[in-house]
A and B are shown apart, each in its own frame.
Chain A
Amino acid sequence: MLYREAGDFKTSYRADQQTFPIMFDKVAFTITIILAFTVVPLTINDYWANAVFLPFLIYSIAAIGLNILTGYCGQVSLGSGGFMAVGAYACYKLMTAFPDMNIVFSILISGGITAGVGMLFGLPSLRIKGFYLAVATLAAQFFLVWLFNKVPWFYNYSASGQINAPEREVFGFIVTGPNSSPAAVYIFCLLFLCVLAIIARNLTRGSAGRRWMAIRDMDIAAEIIGVNPLMSKLTAFGVSSFYVGIAGALLFSVYLGAVEVGEVFGIQKSFLVLFMIIIGGLGSMFGSFAGAAFMVLLPVLLKNIMVGQFGWATDIAAHFEFLIVGFLIIFFLIVEPHGLAMLWRIIKEKLRLWPFPH
């Protein structure tokens, strides 16, 4: 009744292959985008920006990146934390070495540097697969964190080893540093996310994405039909690391402002991004967003309910948060092993027929 396709005929290939073929989807998406760009920046405050929206936007970019690598190309990677660190430190070095460079370029170039590093650490994927590749990327994670701790050049020889983002502005709006307004940082990250998401969507449904999916499904058969495994795997690592590097650069410069590599980009960050795409759904754009929302926003929501509304003690609330999030992860994976995206797809399928069961 709501989600009607009847009578909606496409008369061109272009219309047939659009991302949102059903009118309801198109309308809902357009409304969300309009709300995101107009209503939210006018009503946002520091807390909503720093605790809810910025983590969600930034981790969505990281989740899209890892989804391209693990979900679409099938290369398991536990190095996301390390690659985010590369993005952050590259951004820091660029910001401090070239103070006149626009922050947008710093972030894009640090994404490019991370893409290079990612391709380097992705070379083992040409020889090893699956679990063993995960271990090789784990080595990348630990090596990169060790490198940024050990070599003082990366943190400009500061005594504490922390890196701080200097103040930068875009079109007169300050986006980094403590004087940034919540609306400015929100729009900045939202723009990055929108552009990157459009690019990812089109890459994954184009020939590049089909090549990646062929490698994921059966790489020997893919090689036989003419998919170059070297190029496909390395481009998957490259594109994925580009996204993850941009997420790391935004995390450092816009969201946190000061970063200590061992604490912020440790192994738990890699796990967090991996869990996001597993819960959200491998090989799905919506899954990246759903997973990021689940892993990042749910703890904040739970904390606000338990401590803010029920008035429970903070340590009890923190322990319950572990329990609840863990239980929900197990629950969702049992109910739908393919993640929230598959759940969403099934709901949409059923909604097409609702209220009629057949």
Chain B
Amino acid sequence: MNMKKLMMASLAAITLSSPVMADLVFPSLSYRTGPYGANGIPFADGYADYFTLLNERDGGIGGVKANVIECETGYNTEKGVECYESTKGQGALVYQPLSTGITYQLIPKATADGIPIHSMGYGRTSAANGKVFSHIFNYPANYWNGASAVVNHLLELNNGNIKGKTLALVYHNSAYGKEPIRTLEELSKKHGFNLTLLPVDHPGQEQKSQWLQIRREKPDYVAMWGWGVMNPTAIQEAANIRYPMENFIGIWWSGSENDVRPVGEAADGYKALNMHNVGDDYPIYDDLKKYVYDAGKAAGAGDMMGTVLYNRGMYAAMLAAEAARNAQKISGKADISASDMRDGMEALEITEARMSELGMPNFGPSFKVSCENHGGPGLAAIQQWDAKNSKWNLISDFKPTDTDVINALIQEDSAAYAAENNIKERC
């Protein structure tokens, strides 16, 4: 045991004494293994490929190369903490843990260490309140926007009246899945629909009893907050009980190709939310092909381009790169620090013109981040799966959500957090 300590000490000395180059570090807390690996891989690939493109095509951001350090978390909280601790000392600018559990874990730690977290469309929803959460951002939309978007879509389908209808929520029995419950309860009171809650335990391969209940009760609509292997299992179960797919709507994390492809034809018509656009029909893909794929620098196996989660990873990387550029402009130096990055993120403005410039026209909504609002505009679109052509199609625009209800809940939740942790409001 003493030998082990000596060996660890010498190895750590070698590892930690490697020279730190002056570049922009974007750690990628990814998971390519485990039950959530199938969804973690395309996101991590997209994230890494975008920065590779910037390095190859533009020589980095503002002349400084971007360095994406991948660390495998396996969607596990303890490994997430270990990855955070091992990468933060290398000049990490922003963390995107892609796991609500790990995000909750890192919120106090990263705030104390001064490193911002961008939990894009996941994490702690009330972090949208920038007055309490100075270092946490979840633009362009959060889970409560998503819940409201689902209800808004139902209202659309029913001419504005869903009184008496039933909505069943099949959710991952973790902090992630429980996020929409509060909002859906408020909205059910407001619009008069009934809400049934059906938790699915991690990892989500056992869902027979939940779908048996759905087959018995026949709710009008089913919403899903799933991730990883839970998604295709749920869609398969829905197909088995012949639940009409167009009444089955998933959150943006339950709407990717690897969730619907295993189910085949039966998944045709399944809907999901999205906060950005789909497909690979963008000029940036030509650049990616030229500078990344053909040059053999694609991350992972290089087979995920054009998929929803790959696009999402790219979108997250684009937002991080733009925030870094913003930070460079504000601070006046190219070699920014984590606190410069935070300021850059807080002053971020994404316009349609800029996205077209980057080769991603109409890829996402235009928005502006401010000191009070770290959550962006909260716009969400609905996409539908076309099994015959094996592609997702956006069937709506980026529509606004019920911000009255949501903002009230955000204030309540962030006030509770501030009280628990003695945080004074800023801005």
A297 within 8 A of B: yes
Q: Which residues of B contact A309 (CB under 8 A)?
A: 11, 14-15
A307 to B27, CA, bound (A): 14
Give the residue name and chain of the A residue nearest to B34 (CB): A318
A202 to B86, CA, bound (A): 38
Q: Considering the complex, which residues of chain A in the window 169-183 have a beta carbon less than 8 Å from any beta carbon of chain B? A: 177-179
Q: Which of A69-77, A108-116, A156-164 contacts B (4 or more CB under 8 A)?
A: A156-164
Tell me whether A260 and B82 are in contact (CB under 8 A). no
Q: Considering the complex, which residues of chain B in the window 3-28 have a beta carbon less than 8 Å from any beta carbon of chain A? A: 4, 7-8, 11-12, 14-16
A161 to B15, CA, bound (A): 38
Known: A166-B421, A314-B71. A260 touches B111 (CB 8 A): no
Q: Which residues of A contact B389 (CB under 8 A)?
A: none
B84-107 interface bits toward A, Cβ cutoff 8 Å, 1 = contact, 0 = none? 011011000000000011001101
Tell me whether A301 and B8 are in contact (CB under 8 A). yes
A27 to B269, CA, bound (A): 73
Q: Which residues of A contact B113 (CB under 8 A)?
A: 178
Select the residue from A304, A314, A318 with max chain B CB neighbours within 10 A: A314
Q: Which residues of B contact A219 (CB under 8 A)?
A: none
Q: Which residues of B contact A266 (CB under 8 A)?
A: 202
Q: Which residues of B contact A315 (CB under 8 A)?
A: 32-33, 37, 41, 72
A52 within 8 A of B: yes
A178 to B105, CA, bound (A): 10
A307 to B113, CA, bound (A): 25
B236 within 8 A of A: no
Tell me whether B82 and A300 are in contact (CB under 8 A). yes
Tell me whether A177 and B108 are in contact (CB under 8 A). yes
A301 to B32, CA, bound (A): 19
Q: Give the shortest distance, in Å, between B112 (CB) and chain A (any CB).
A: 4
Q: Considering the complex, which residues of chain A in the window 244-294 have a beta carbon less than 8 Å from any beta carbon of chain B? A: 256-260, 262-264, 266, 289-290, 293
Q: Give the shortest distance, in Å, between A323 (CB) and chain B (any CB).
A: 12
Tell me whether A262 and B86 are in contact (CB under 8 A). no
Interface residues of B, count at CB 8 A: 54
Q: Which residues of B contact A45 (CB under 8 A)?
A: 89
A303 to B8, CA, bound (A): 12
Q: Which residues of A contact B181 (CB under 8 A)?
A: 159
A358 within 8 A of B: no
Which residues of A are at the interface with B, using a C-beta cutoff of 8 A?
28, 32, 45-48, 50-52, 55, 149, 158-162, 164, 166-167, 177-179, 256-260, 262-264, 266, 289-290, 293, 297, 300-301, 303-305, 307-309, 313-315, 317-319
Which residues of B are at the interface with A, using a C-beta cutoff of 8 A?
1-2, 4, 7-8, 11-12, 14-16, 30, 32-33, 37, 41, 70-72, 74, 76-78, 81-82, 85-86, 88-89, 100-101, 104-105, 107-109, 111-113, 124, 173-175, 178-179, 181-182, 199, 201-202, 413, 416, 420-422
Ordered by A's residue number, 9 sampled pairs between the chains whose C-beta atoms are within 8 Å are A47-B16, A178-B108, A260-B101, A263-B174, A297-B8, A301-B4, A307-B71, A309-B15, A314-B72
